Chain A
């Protein structure tokens, strides 16, 4: 029985190919979006600014997953673990070692990059559902690791750590929320530009070659092991920075903040935004922040069910996520121009 071998024909890839140009927005659209992001906070209440900050942070985390899944074709349900490590690195450095908040982010990114790179090693041998299970296991284990007794001195154990929110520097006349928003926006932009360029670079082409056909890629001379682990590392590093930002924005870290639910939310964000389409990450982030709020305003007792129904509606209408909407509207605009 076990000797029997099955042959699987191609055309059954987990992630379909996305041409690399289609992974970004046009320059005009990008500038318009940027202008909106810059101006809106001036007219919004603090709590909306806070929500927008969280949107950018979750957007970053979804983007990181998108690089991994949409870019290199590897699937992860364990992003919450990297997010947690980043958040804890920032919180511990800020509260226990009095490090400036801005300096904690690169540290969180580097540590998570290393963590992701190492985790990518065993993950190399796994694919599809097996990789899903391995990353899922990581996500389930993380809250328990954070609770460990011998780490309690730094992590605060089950009680977590309260983080102080930074004031705007140089005496800038803006509140903490607005300052943090612009700070997050700058970090997000930097990472977004880095990611777009990464995917357009040699490494990015290698990622996509692996995603589309691993064996073909390796026979063309792509170092599959290196690039796959690299994708894990980059993804984890960006997720770590997002986690660090979230610790500052939420002002609190605790094991309960980083359960498997977070990993699942990030995954949903990616699907809704469109796998492999980087700008969609922020659409996906908006979905995971605002749709649960909508669901609960429709029905308290059934908020979970309403959320599920809304999610079904979205994937029925646009199975390829926001990317599909973007492509369709682009075609429409193209047609209008011709007329």
Chain B
């Protein structure tokens, strides 16, 4: 029986592996994906298809772990970073994650991107008890340790950011009429919900909610329509291209509302410069990280490290791309967690260490913003600071605000 023979070989192989590792190194504990020499980490990213702009995050993470390996690895082990293309399609994400888990046998799945893809794989990974660590989406549902103890977010949630804007407006401009432009998907709708929740009883301040589709080439028509409603405040929950279009069109219409733009689209090089620096003056946003295109960080030690990393490991990459900063920060967080795991590289311990981060500050986060997690808090970054665009850089103002939104 061929079948039986294969099973037999597998069984013997496993037994040998267990004996050697168990006898020689009693204090070391491993799950599939970790050995004395290697830690295998899986990742999925849209390298092809309409969302391929995010692919650079995966490339940055790959480069980051190459740098770590060049420096000797983590506790003497090299990180083997396996990343696959999911083309931003949930069925493909399921296929690739299953390949990572069942064929490549990774220790953890790290930073998979997009709310739909992550929702598609969440149940599977939790059932298999495999960490779905630091997912690249800002939905609130990732902070749910009770129901999904193997899933953890990383960046501040979209809703908490939107609440910060709403509360700021309530305090500074309590009577202002507000119009919201949002992308008609999970990202935009989360922001809209956060804004409404933030306004609470004064949600009637929002006089207009206008959505657009990513398939639209130009969103000028929406801006014209919003201007006609004559709001005092124009809130832009759009991805970079559309945010830049909106800011530019508002200026072309000689319209001067107070503008707030989501953190996703606050990149100086990726949004403000293309939209026109003169058009971007006075815009408000909130942030948790440093912006690569912002000259105020030119002499910042953390960003210098980042810049040297890009020069050495990703030559030719556009430094204006905020995703390169993002990928570096999240990869650094994973490296920290793996370092904290020491020689106990079990999946349970990876989750335990990820939930025990105390005041950890990756190089790319704002001064004062720290990563804190606990067994009941699976939202690593929950602090933001408001900022105003002036000249060619963002000026931070006010306190660092902590705003967790519980998952529902």
Contact = CB atoms under 8 A, between A and B. Distances in A.
A47 B102 CA distance: 6
B120 A254 contact: yes
Interface stretch (A120-128, A245-253, A314-322): A245-253
B254 interface: no
Interface residues of B, number: 41
Contacts of B115: 159
Contacts of A214: none
A296 B123 contact: no
B91 A158 contact: no
B6 A158 contact: no
A252 B122 CA distance: 10
A45 B99 CA distance: 10
A256 B89 contact: yes
Interface string A261-297: 1100000000000000000000000000100110110
A262 B89 CA distance: 9
A157 B47 CA distance: 26
A251 B101 CA distance: 17
A203 interface: no
A254 B91 CA distance: 10
Given A159-B119, A296-B84, A261 B49 contact: yes
A50 interface: yes
Given A54-B95, A252-B120, A303 B85 contact: yes
B33 interface: no
A129 B151 CA distance: 47
Given A254-B90, A261-B87, A158 B119 contact: no
**A contact patch SS:** helix
Contacts of B114: 256
A303 B48 CA distance: 7
Contacts of B98: 46-47, 50
A135 to B, nearest CB: 16
A304 B119 contact: no
A140 interface: yes
Contacts of B119: 159-160, 162, 252, 254
B69 interface: no
A144 interface: yes
B189 interface: yes
A51 B47 CA distance: 20
Contacts of B6: 43
Given A47-B101, A162-B119, A301-B47, A252 B89 contact: no
Given A144-B213, A304-B48, A46 B102 contact: yes
Interface string A36-69: 0000001101111011001000000000000000
A42 B94 contact: no
A255 B89 CA distance: 10
Contacts of B122: 162
A160 B186 CA distance: 9
B88 interface: yes
A158 B184 contact: yes
Contacts of B99: 47
Interface string B1-30: 011001000000000000000000000000
Interface in B102-155: 102-103, 114-116, 119-120, 122-124
Residue of A140, A162, A246, A252 contacting most chain B CB atoms (<10 Å): A252
Nearest to A87: B91
A158 B48 contact: no
Nearest to A158: B186
Contact of A300 (B55, B88, B92): B55
Contacts of B185: 147, 158, 255-256
Residue of A45, A54, A293, A300 contacting most chain B CB atoms (<10 Å): A300
A304 B184 contact: no
A43 B95 CA distance: 19
A52 B101 CA distance: 17
A329 interface: no
B102 A45 contact: yes
Contacts of B259: none
Nearest to A305: B48
A292 B98 CA distance: 16
Contacts of A307: 48
A256 B88 contact: yes
A131 B366 CA distance: 54
A46 B92 CA distance: 16
Contacts of A43: 2-3, 6
Interface in B71-100: 83-85, 87-92, 94-95, 98-99
B215 interface: yes
8 contacts: A54-B95, A251-B94, A256-B89, A261-B89, A292-B92, A303-B47, A304-B48, A307-B48
Interface of A: 42-43, 45-48, 50-51, 54, 140, 144, 147, 157-160, 162, 246, 250-252, 254-257, 259, 261-262, 289, 292-293, 295-296, 300-301, 303-304, 307
Given A147-B185, A257-B89, 10 more contacts: A46-B98, A50-B94, A51-B95, A144-B213, A250-B94, A254-B116, A254-B120, A257-B90, A259-B50, A293-B84
